[in-house]
Amino acid sequence: MRRVVAYLALSVSLSLVAACGGDDDEESFDNLPDCVADHASLGEAESITHCLVDFPDLHPEFADVDACIAWVTDNGGYPDSRDAACADYFEETGQ
């Protein structure tokens, strides 16, 4: 009986992890707006920064903050958040 209870508890735990989407290593996005929308609970600027930092295949390498801002503008806009997000991106990546 204990094995059955342990098995059921493990099954429920694994189901919850799968339902929550697991970790970011399993995620991929075709574009910035999809990524930002998926991480909207972080707030717009933080979502953009998260997507830029954690999904580098989503965007080209940026030479500077202005290049980042231009790319974000062309790939979703985000006029209220792009400057802060790109500044945070460069701070977090140490570039």
Q: Kindly state whether residue 29 falls inside one of the protein's structural domains.
A: yes
Q: How many residues does the chain have?
A: 95
Residue 89: which domain range? 24-93
Of all helices (H) and strands (E), which one includes residue 16?
A: helix 2-19
In a domain, 12, yes or no: no
Query: What would the mean pLDDT of 10-35 be, rounded to a whole number?
Result: 61
State the pTM of this model.
Answer: 0.71
Give the pLDDT of residue 3. Answer: 56
| pLDDT tier, 74 (very low <50, low <70, confident <90, very high otherwise) | very high
Terminal Cα-to-Cα distance of the chain (whole angstroms): 57
Q: What is the pLDDT of residue 28?
A: 87
Q: Tell me how many domains the chain contains.
A: 1
- Judged against a pLDDT cut of 60, whether residue 93 lies above it is answered with yes
Q: 3-class DSSP state for residue 67?
A: helix
Considering the chain, what percentage of its residues have pLDDT values greater than 70?
Answer: 74
Cα gap 95→79, rounded to integer Å: 23
Examine residue 10 and state whether it is found in any structural domain, yes or no: no
